Amino acid sequence: MSGLDELLLRVRDRAERETEVLAPCVREQDVVAAEQALGFNLPPLLRLLYLHVANGGFGPDYTLLPLVGSGRTVVGEYGPLLDARPAHWPRGVLPILDWGCGMYAAVDCLDPVAPVLLFEPNAGPEDWADAWFLDSPSLAQWLDTWLAGTGWWEDEVVAAEDAHEPVPWPGAVRRLATAG
Q: Count of CB atoms within 10 A of residue 123's CB?
A: 8
Go through the domains of the chain in sequence order and give each one's CATH number.
Answer: 3-177 (3.40.1580.10)
Backbone angles phi, psi at 127, to 5 degrees: -120, 125
- Is residue 21 packed enough to be buried (19+ CB in 10 Å), middle (13-18) or exposed (0-12)? exposed
Quickly state the pLDDT bin for 179 (edges 50, 70, 90): low
Quickly state the pLDDT bin for 84 (edges 50, 70, 90): low
Task: Check pLDDT > 60 for residue 171.
Answer: yes
pTM: 0.92
pLDDT of res. 82: 61
Q: How far apart are CA 84 and CA 79, in angstroms?
A: 9
The pLDDT of 93-100, averaged and rounded, is 96
Q: How far apart are CA 49 and CA 155, in angstroms?
A: 25
pLDDT tens-digit series, residues 54-83: 999 999 988 999 999 999 999 998 876 666
Degrees to nearest 5, angle at CA 94 with 99 and 157: 35
